[in-house]
A = this chain, B = another copy of it.
Amino acid sequence: MSTYSTIRIEESGVAWTVTINRPERQNSIDGLLLQELHSAFDRMEEDRQCRIAIIAGHPGFFCTGMDFQEAVGQTGSNDDGEKADAFIRLLRKMSMTSKIVIASIDGKVNAGGIGLVAASDFAVATPQSQFSLSEAIWGLLPACVVPYMIRRTGFQPAYWMTLSTLPVSAAEAQAFRLINEVSADPASVVQRLMPRLARLDGQTIVDIKAYFRKMWLVNDEMEQVAVKEITRLMSEPRVRENIRGFVEHQRFPWSPR
């Protein structure tokens, strides 16, 4: 078994749990996490016994989006484009895999983290969990998240969360179906679903996912538009300046210098 540094994998029969494990960086997404999540899904895909992939975070934060510290350290837009591409391919992989993907949330979900939730087949969160799309604060937008969030919630909640940047509670997120259930004990919800979900044939899951992709708006072209847009924005000096100010001085774009 390969060893990971940004995730932990527990294999227990039909259900594997992949825990995002960067507590020192609030479970933000860096290039290595993207690689390791790809690797985890590839490994599960090859395992015939594994039927269910549970994605979890740490108590307090599920995933808080792009690692700004890494972003600031990068010099060229190639890195940004490659990460955006790896991220949108991860969301597609999650939404096309022969496993049932369940997001088990306890805490903060922000920006790219919302993408992981939206691309999951089922999402359960504790009542104290919070959901936000903070990209616009920095002059960015959640380009890769939007197609999958619209798919899950319809246009308006994705749009207003993007524009307002305001966090919403687990109850609100459930009301517009970003998550399926709110429970103080997410594990028990997964346990309840397991018997039925574990029985589905992997080929049937693949057939269902491929079919639903044909029945909805997300397609290869839209994914390319997403990668192009986030790469364009990340190369804008004003955006880089906003992010640098926050990483180096905890300064918001509207704060006095």
Instruction: Tell me whether A200 and B157 are in contact in the complex, defined as CB-CB below 8 angstroms, given that A141-B207, A150-B216 are known contacts.
Output: no
Residues of chain B with a CB closer than 8 A to A200's CB: 136-137, 163, 165
- Interface segment, A29-37, A74-82, A191-199? A191-199
Q: Is residue A127 contacting chain B, with contact meaning CB distance below 8 A?
A: no
* A164 and B204 contact, Cβ closer than 8 Å, known pairs A147-B215, A152-B155, A156-B152: no
Q: Which residues of B contact A196 (CB under 8 A)?
A: 164-166
CA of A198 to CA of B83 in the docked complex: distance in angstroms?
Answer: 31
Q: How often does this chain occur in the complex, in copies?
A: 3
Interface centre among A140, A166, A208, by most chain B C-beta atoms within 10 angstroms, is A208
Given A151-B156, A156-B152, is A225 in contact with B217 using a C-beta cutoff of 8 Å?
Answer: no
Taking residues whose C-beta sits less than 8 angstroms from the other chain, chain A's interface range is: 35 or more
* Chain A interface main SS type: helix
> Mask for A141-170, Cβ within 8 A of B = 1, else 0?
101001100111111111110111110000
Q: Roughly how many angstroms separate A203 CA and B232 CA in the complex, as a whole number? A: 14
Q: Is the beta-carbon distance between B156 and A208 smaller than 8 angstroms?
A: no
Residues from chain B with Cβ under 8 Å of A166 in the complex: 193, 196
Q: A141-B211, A158-B212, A166-B193 are in contact. List 19 more A-B contacts (CB 8 A).
A: A137-B199, A139-B203, A150-B216, A151-B155, A151-B156, A154-B177, A159-B208, A159-B212, A160-B180, A162-B212, A163-B200, A163-B205, A199-B253, A199-B254, A207-B233, A214-B222, A215-B217, A216-B217, A217-B217
Chain A to chain B contacts (Cβ below 8 Å), 8 pairs? A121-B160, A140-B204, A150-B215, A151-B155, A160-B180, A163-B200, A164-B193, A166-B193
